[in-house]
Structure 1
C-alpha cells in the first residue's frame, strides 16, 4: 500500500507522519484496515486447533495493529483540529466501526473459543495478568451481546450502529454551536475587564475575522468575562448562549438526540438481561450499583447545598448594595463571587494570573514528575498535526519511556474541554511498544500565555492521566494505562492536582510574567487559603449533573429528558442561582459516547480516593516522599487494569477510604 497510514512510519519513535498524511488518506486506509482486521479475526475464529490462551486470547491481543494506527491518528486530529472533511469522515466512520466491532462481538465461533478457554481457566497455568485479561475478554463478549440469538442479536447490532451515529451527531452539533456563536464588544463594553481578558477577547476577534474584541463560548474566555464584566446585560446574554449550547433549535439541536440515545441504551440493557442501563453500566465499576453512587452523591449534596445557600445570601447582599433589583441570577454568581473572594482573601484574579504562565506550569508538572518518578523531558522537533502542538521525549535513567505531546490552546477547530489520549498505548506483547500520549486543553493564547488557577489545575489534572499512560508497565495492551474502571480512571489525574498546591512548587514556578519574581508569600498564602473558596457552588453544579445523569439511566428512559432534568433538580432543591455544570443538550460526557454515561459521578468517586491518597504522602515524609511515590507507581500508575481497582487501592493505602477526606478537602466538613 502507498497509503502513508498503512506504512511503517520512518519517524522518531514511529510517531504518525502528520506532515505526509492528508484527509484523503483516512477513508481508504480505514477500509483496508477493517478488511485486514476482519481477516485476522476470522483466522482466530475458524482455527481447527483446540482453543488455548495463546491461540485465542493472546491472538486477539496481537491483531488490529493497522486499525489502531489509523484510528489513533484520525481521532486525534478529528477532536483537536476538526474541519468539514474530518467531520464528514466521522459521520461516515461511526456506523462502519460500530458494525465492525458488533460483528466481532457477535462472532459465534470466536465467542465459543473464548468461552472454552474461560471455562478451562482453573486448569491453565496463567499469570495473574493473563487470568485478568481472560476474564475481561470473556466478560466483554458477554456484555456486548455475544450470547444473543436471532432477532435479539440483530437488534443489538442495530442499536450499536445507531448509538454510534447519534454520539457523533451530538458532538458535532455541540462543536457547531460553540464555533458559530460570538458576541462583539465595543470599547465601552470592556469596562471592568482586566487586560488579560481584553487581550484574549481581541485575539478571539482576530480568529473570528472581526475587527475588535469578542466573547466566544470557549470556557477560557467566557468564564473570566462572567467574573469581571460590569455589564449585567452582557453577562446575561453570554451566559444564556453558553448554557443554550445544543438547545437552539434547528439542525444542531441535541434534545431529541439525547432522548433517542437514552431509549436505545435502556433497550440495550434489557436485551442483555439488566433492569436498566445504570445496572448494566455500573456492574463493572468500583461502585457496582446505582444505590452506592446515589449514597455518595447525596452524602456530598446536602453539605454542599447548605454552603452554596449561605454563599448566595452573602452575594445577594452585595447586589443590594449595588442597587441591583431582583434575585441573584446565574450570570451574577461569578461576578459577585469574584468580588467577594477579593474581599475575603485579598485575592484578585487579575493580580494572580500573571504568576501562572503556561510555560512555567508545564515546567512545574514536569519537575514534580521528575522528583516523584525520576522522569525527564527533552523537547522533540517533529512534525505534528498543528503548529500549536509540541512534543517531548520522556526518559528515565537514560532509557526511553514515552513521547508526550501537548496541545494547549483554544481554537475554533477544537472541541471544548480538556482530555488525554494515547495514540499508542504501552504493551510488551506481541512486541514491546512505548506509549505516545497527548494532552489537549483549551487555554487562551497570549504573549505570554497566562492561566487562571483553575486552568493550572486542569493542566496538572490531564498530566496525571498522561503519567498513568506513560508509567504503565503491563504485558497486554487491553489492560494498559487508563484501561481501568471508569470510577478509578480519574484517581491519578485528580491526585496529581494536589502537587500544584504544594507551597514549594508554587514558590519555584509561580513567577511573575513581567518581573520574573516569585509570588509574594502573602499572595501565596491567600491563593492556598482560597483553594476551597466557592466550593459550595462548584460542588452543587457538579453533583447536580451527576445526579441527573444517574436518574436518566436508573429506570425507564425518559421520553423528555429536559422534563426529567427539571424534575430531578426540583426534587433536589437546586438553588435558583446555580445551573448544572453540563445541562443535557451539551452534556458531552454522557451523550457523545458511552464513556461517562451513568458514570459522571466517577470524578467524585475518584476524589474520595485522591484526597485520601494524598493524605498518605502528608502522613509520611511530605508530598515528595520517595517511598509513597514508589508505592503509587507500583500499585496504581504502572498496573493499569491488570488488577481489580479496589484491590489496587487497598494495596497502596491498606484500606478503602471514606467520604470524610473529600468533604474536608472541599472545605465542606462540619467545623
Structure 2
C-alpha cells in the first residue's frame, strides 16, 4: 500500500498543453461520490501524461513553498506541503491500484518509465535545502508554537522524513543517494513484474486426468478450462500461487504430480529464462546497504528498523531466535509423525516437502476425524462476506453496507459497497475484488484509492483484493478456511482505512509503522471462528443447513495442528529477509541460492521438508514491496494481536462497547500517535509474548 507521504514523481518533459488538458480524467477531481475514480473514463494512455503534468505542477507548488519570502510557519510550510500534489496523488493511487489488481503490457511499460521518475521527484523534494531549512526552523521552535498533539507529530514526522532521506548529507552524498534511489526503483519494479510473469509461465500442465486424483469434479473442470484458455486443449493446468507450498499439494494423491508442482514452485526466479531474478536481488541488496551506510547505519535493516516499533535489529533478532528453536522442534516432531504414517502405508520413500501437505492433511483426519474438504460446502463466498464479515462489522461497530452498482469498476468481478455508521452517516466506500487472474499480482491486500483526511475533506475509498480461484460459470464459490481467514484479515485492513479520523493526509488509515500495520488485521481473524459469527455464515450452499457442531468442534480442536510447520516456514522467510538486509555493501554474495541455504542453516531453521514460505527469487514482499527488512512484522504484530484477542475475550467479545473502544482508541488514529502508545492506550499496558506462544502451540516445547 502507498502512503501519501511516500508518493512522488520527477518533472518529466511536459507534453503540449492540449495533451495534458481537461480531457484527462486524472487531472481533475472526480465528480463521483467520495471522489471515487472514474474507472469508466480512465484509460491506460492517460497515466503517463497525467504523471508528467501532475509532477511538474507539484514541483512548482513545492518550489513556491520553499522560496516564499515570509518566515516559515506551520500553515505556510507544513500544511501547504500536505495540500500540495493532489493531482499527483490521485493519479498515483489509481495507477498503483490498477498495476496490482488488473495490469497489462501498457501499464507495465508506464510503471517501468515512471518508477525511477518517482524516486527522482521525491528526492528533489526531500533533498531540497531551502525547504528543509523551513521545516527545520519549525521543528526547532515546536515547543513554543501553539500546536495540538497531531500537529506537533506532523512537524516531527516531516522533519524525521527529511533527515532520513538525507537532507543533512553533503551535496555529493545527496547526488549518490538520488542515483541509488532511482536505480532501486527500476530494479524493484522489474523484480515484481518478473514474479508475475514467471508465476504465469510456471503453470504446471498434465495430460492425464488420473494425475489429478484427489481433485473434485469442479476443480478438474476448472483445470481443464484454464489449460484450454492457455492453448493447451485436452490438458489440465495447475496454476501456482506466490508461496513455496501450493494448495494442490494437500489433495493430489499422485506423488509425481505433487513433486512436479513443488519443483516448479521452488524454481521460480532462478530458471535460465528472461525472468531470472538473481542479478536483480544482488544489486538491490548492495544498493540498499550502500544507501544505509551513507545514512550512518551499518546496514539496510538497521536503517529500516530505526523507524519501526522494534527500533533495532537486535530486538528483531531476539524475537526470531527465541521462536525459531521452538518452531523447529515442533516441526521435527510433526515430520516424524508423518513419516510414521507413510511407513504404515508401506510407502518406500522418505517424507519430502512435496509430501508434507498431503500427509499432514491425512494425519489431521485421523487424529481429529476432520477432513478440511468437508468444510468447503459450508463456506460459500457471498454468505461468508455478507453473513460473516459484514455481520461482524455490524455487530462490533454498528456498520451497514449498501451495494453501489451505479459506480464504475475496473473489472466485472469487482463490487462496490457504500458503508454507513450506526447513525446512518456515510463512512466511505469499500471495493471487493476476490478472484485470481493473470493480470493480478499474487497474495491478498488492501489499498486506498482515496485516503481519508479532514484537511482535504476526503472520505475513504478502500479495496480488498484476494486471489480465490474462480470456478466455472454456474458453480458455487466454495472457500477453504484459510481463504475465509484471509477475507476477515484483509477486511481488518479495510476497517483501519475506513475508520481513519485524522486531519492530515500523512497520517491517514494504515500509515503506521510496517511492524504495526498487520496488527489490526490479524485481530479481525478471531471473528472468523467466533461462535455467533461462524454459525451465521457457515451454512451449506445448497440446503442452508448450519455446519454440524461436531465438525466445528473437530475443526477447532485441530487448529493448532501442524503449527510447527506453519511457524517454521514463516520464520525461515523472516530470517532470510534479515540475513539479506543485515549485510554491508562489501558482504554481498555471488550466488543467491547458496546464500539462502547458508543463512537458513546458520539460523538453525534449514529443513528440507519445510521450505521457506518464499524463496528469495520470488520474495516480492521484500524485493518488490514495502517489507524489506520488515517481513518479521507479521509475527511482531501477532504478539499484539494475541494480547488483543485475550482482551476481547475477557470483555465478553462481540459487543459494540468493545468495538467502539477499539475503534476510538486505535483504529481511527492512523499514524497520528506513536504506535506503541496507541496499543497501550487501548490495552492499558505493554504487550507480553505468552499469549502468542499459547496461540501457536509453542509454549510446551
Work out which of the residue numbers 469, 488, 491 in structure 2 matches 1:463: 491
Question: Does 1:641 pair with 2:671?
Answer: yes
Contact 1:377/1:395, CA 8 A, preserved across alignment: yes
Q: Who is 2:378 aligned against?
A: 355
The C-alpha deviation readout for 1:337-362, integer Å capped at 9, x for no partner, is: 11111111212122111111111121
The alpha carbon displacement at 1:4 in A equals 1.4
Query: What TM-score, normalized by structure 1, do the two folds share?
Result: 0.97
Cα deviation, 1:503-524, whole Å, max 9, x if unaligned, reads 2211110111122111000001
| CA-to-aligned-CA distance 1:220-269 (integer Å, 9 cap, x gap) | 99833211111111111111111222111222111111111110011111
How far does residue 11 in structure 1 lie from its aligned partner after superposition? 2.1
Query: Does residue 376 in structure 1 map to residue 415 in structure 2?
Result: no
Residue 389 of structure 2 is matched in structure 1 by: 365
- Of 617, 620, 631, which aligns to 1:585? 617
User: How far apart, in 2, do the equivalents of 1:553 and 1:187 lie?
Assistant: 45
User: What is residue 414 of structure 2 aligned with on the other side?
Assistant: 389
Q: What's the C-alpha RMSD, in Å, of the aligned pairs?
A: 1.5
C-alpha distance in 1, partners of 2:218/2:659?
A: 37
Paired position in structure 2 for 1:607:
638
1:416 to 442, 453, 459: 442
Counterpart contact for 2:644–2:683, Cα < 8 Å: yes
Give the secondary-structure state (helix, strand or coil) at the position aligned to 1:663. helix
One of 57, 61, 69 as aligned partner of 2:90? 69
Cα separation, 2, equivalents of 1:608 and 1:568:
25
Cα distance, 1:573 vs structure 2:
4.2
Do structure 1's residue 559 and structure 2's residue 582 form an aligned pair?
no
Q: Which moved more, 1:228-237 or 1:1-10?
A: 1-10
**C-alpha distance in 2 between matches for 1:393 and 1:602:** 31
CA 1:603–1:400 in 2, change beyond 3 Å: closer, same or farther? same
CA–CA separation in structure 1 for the residues paired with 2:241 and 2:325: 31
Deviation at 1:12, TM superposition (A): 3.0
Q: How does 1:492-531 map to 2 (within 5 A)?
A: 492-531=520-559
- Does the Cα contact within 8 Å between 1:283 and 1:289 map onto a contact in 2? yes
Give yes or no for the alignment of 1:227 onto 2:255.
Answer: no
Equivalent in the alignment of 2:453 = 427
Residue number in structure 2 paired with 1:441: 466
CA contact (8 A) 2:401 2:419 kept: yes
Aligned to 2:349: 326
Cα deviation 1:255-308 (Å, max 9, x = unaligned): 111111110011111111112111111011111111111111122111111111
- Superposed, 1:166-205 pairs within 5 Å as 166-185=187-206, 186-205=208-227
Structure 1 residue 273 corresponds to structure 2 residue 296: yes
Residue 403 of structure 2 contacts residue 418 of structure 2 at CA under 8 Å; is this kept in 1?
Answer: yes
CA contact (8 A) 1:5 1:70 kept: yes
Partner deviation per Cα, 1:345-396 (whole Å, 9 max, x = no partner): 2121221111111111211111101111111111111211111111000111
Alpha-carbon distance between aligned partners in 1 of 2:552 and 2:433, rounded to the nearest angstrom: 28
The answer to whether the Cα contact below 8 Å between 2:324 and 2:568 also exists between their aligned partners in 1 is yes
**How far off its partner does 1:407 sit?**
0.6
Moved more, 29-38 or 524-533: 524-533
For 2:656, which of 626, 647, 668 is the aligned residue?
A: 626
Q: CA deviation at 1:497?
A: 0.4
Cα shift at 1:23: 0.9
CA separation of 1:44 and 1:488: change in aligned 2, threshold 3 A:
same
How much has 1:205 moved relative to structure 2?
2.6
Q: Match for 1:97 among 118, 126, 139?
A: 118
Shift of 1:183: 2.2
Contact 1:106 1:145 in 2 (8 A): yes
CA distance in 2, matches of 1:532, 1:56: 53
Q: Which structure shows the bigger proportion of residues in helix conformation?
A: 1
The number of aligned residues is: 668
Question: Which of 44, 54, 57 is the matching residue for 1:23?
Answer: 44
Q: 2:433 aligns with which of 388, 395, 407?
A: 407
Q: Distance in 2 between matches of 1:206 and 1:506?
A: 38
SS in 1 for 2:355: helix
Aligned match of 2:14: none
Q: Is 1:576 matched up with 2:597?
A: no
Using the TM superposition, give the Cα deviation of residue 655 of structure 1 relative to its aligned residue in structure 2, in angstroms: 1.1
Question: Does the 8 Å contact 1:203/1:445 carry over to 2?
Answer: no
SS of corresponding position for 1:532 = coil
Cα deviation, 1:160-199, whole Å, max 9, x if unaligned, reads 0011000000000001111122222322212222335324
Q: CA deviation at 1:628?
A: 2.3
Gaps of 5+ in 2: 1-20
The runs of 5 or more residues in structure 1 that have no matched partner are none
Corresponding residue SS for 1:274 = coil
Give distance in 2, aligned partners of 1:205 and 1:170. Answer: 26
Identify which of 511, 515, 526 aligns with 1:483. Answer: 511
How many angstroms does 1:218 deviate by?
A: 3.1
- Distance of aligned partners of 1:221 and 1:254 in 2 relative to their CA distance in 1, 3 Å threshold: closer
Within 2, Cα distance between the matches of 1:596 and 1:656? 25
Secondary structure of residue in 2 paired with 1:246: coil
Cα separation, 2, equivalents of 1:160 and 1:573: 33
Counterpart contact for 1:220–1:442, Cα < 8 Å: no
Check the 8 A contact 2:373/2:480 in 1, yes or no. no
CA contact (8 A) 2:54 2:87 kept: yes
Q: C-alpha separation between the residues in 1 aligned to 2:532 and 2:77?
A: 52
Match of residue 131, structure 1, among 146, 152, 173 = 152
Task: Return the TM-score normalized by structure 2.
Answer: 0.93
Output the CA distance in 2 between the equivalents of 1:306 and 1:221. 21
Bigger mean CA offset, 149-158 vs 185-194: 185-194
